[in-house]
Chain A
Amino acid sequence: MTATARRARRGSVLVRSLVIIAGTVSVALAHSWVRQAGEEPLTLGADESALQQTVLPPSEDVELGGAGMATAATDAGDVLGFEITVDQASRLYDTGMAVFFDARLQHEYEDGHIDGASFVPAEAFATGLPMAVEFAMPDQPVVIYCGGGECEASHNVAAVLQSLGYTRLHIMTEGYPAWVDMGLPTSSGPDPLLEGGM
């Protein structure tokens, strides 16, 4: 093959590559237009403005006890927004009115999680409604946490839960490490609600 022919072939390969990319992007745009106009548009996060707040009961109504409860001295009628601190989460935990969902990786959950929390990553919804979610009432406060810092997993779970009609969603932004640092209740092992794991 001559140098000219080789150059021509390289040029042809590049042009065809660009054609493939352009054609594929066109298909992807058409797909996104159809999907986003349909009944189940993709979401990248929860719409905070559409969520309800949760009002913590006054401190005298909170059943105190256990390690770390020194931080549970509550302000009467504290209103919780979408993002909450570990302190607020622990007070909500003490009321027993909320469910806690762990959005981290499975091995992280099994190594240690908030006592009573269920393993509910966003991927768990791909094959149906996780059992822990079925047990939660749509207007029940749900606290979701992951590893804190730049962790996005809890926001992803919140987005899916909101699309399913859950209205009182709270992200414990400091994540599980902060819960552990405060000496709050934890346990380890697989989620008993998951038969055979994910």
Chain B
Amino acid sequence: MTTAPVSGRAGAPLADESASTGTALSVTLVGCRLIAGGLFIAAAVIKLTDLQSFAFSVKGFQIFPDSAEHLTMLATFAFPWLELICGAMLVLGLWTRAAALVTVLLLLSFVGAIISVIARGMSLECGCFGKLDFVCDGPLGWCSVARNLVHASIAAVPLILGAGRFGIDALVGPATRS
């Protein structure tokens, strides 16, 4: 991979080739941020508009014991808000690496939960996008695992490379780029 600067630093002259490579990389980064963040925002809005169904979905995973309903409730409210806030930060390019890190960790936790459902032989729907079948339809399966891993891979790009030139992080300066 090129070592061309991802973010143009004030006062640092860039060769034409490096500049075009940096621009191309920044555009790619914007694409990754929009896809990863946009999917999270869509999923969050769908969940927040029908929290009752999502509460049942969380309960259906049976990750928490029946005696810990408060944890199920906390997860019901926290997951959509995490998705919404991280999604918005990724799209805006604000604290991009940090938002991408939370996004990747969240998606990996979803992957772990889905694999545990598959391992236990349970048949339930994802609830990830409400009633919308995004890529995968039917009960939870390896398709959902793959979808989450692809989503996590896309979010890992800005985690590694930052927001690029087109984001709030680039506007506020290198000192705050994370």
Contact = CB atoms under 8 A, between A and B. Distances in A.
Given A16-B98, A150-B120, A32 B73 contact: yes
Interface in B64-83: 69, 72-74, 76-78, 81-82
Contacts of B69: 44
Nearest to A159: B56
Most buried by A among B89, B99, B101, B122: B101
Given A17-B101, A20-B102, A108-B123, A28 B81 contact: yes
Contact of B51 (A19, A21, A35): A35
A160 B52 contact: yes
A107 B139 CA distance: 9
A95 interface: no
A32 B74 CA distance: 8
B7 to A, nearest CB: 12
Interface stretch (B23-31, B124-132, B148-156): B124-132
Contacts of B62: 150, 152
A126 B46 CA distance: 11
Given A29-B77, A126-B130, A13 B178 contact: yes
A153 B60 contact: yes
A55 interface: no
A153 B124 contact: yes
Nearest to A198: B131
Tell me what chain A mostly uses at the interface: helix, strand, loop, or mixed: helix
Contacts, number: 113
Contacts of B97: 9, 13, 16
Nearest to B48: A31
Interface residues of B, number: 38
A27 B85 contact: yes
Contacts of A151: 123
Contacts of A104: 123
B80 to A, nearest CB: 8
Contacts of B131: 123, 126, 198
B60 A17 contact: no
Interface residues of A, number: 40
A188 interface: no
A16 B95 contact: yes
B95 A20 contact: yes
A43 interface: yes
Interface in A106-154: 107-108, 122-123, 125-126, 147, 150-153
A16 B85 contact: no
Contacts of A45: 59
Contacts of B139: 105
A76 interface: no
Q: What are the 6 closest A-B residue pairs judged by CB atoms, nearest first?
A: A16-B98, A28-B77, A28-B78, A156-B56, A126-B50, A32-B77
Interface of B: 50-53, 55-56, 59-60, 62, 69, 72-74, 76-78, 81-82, 85-86, 89, 95, 97-99, 101-102, 120, 122-125, 130-131, 138-139, 177-178
Given A29-B77, A152-B56, 4 more contacts: A9-B177, A44-B72, A151-B123, A152-B124
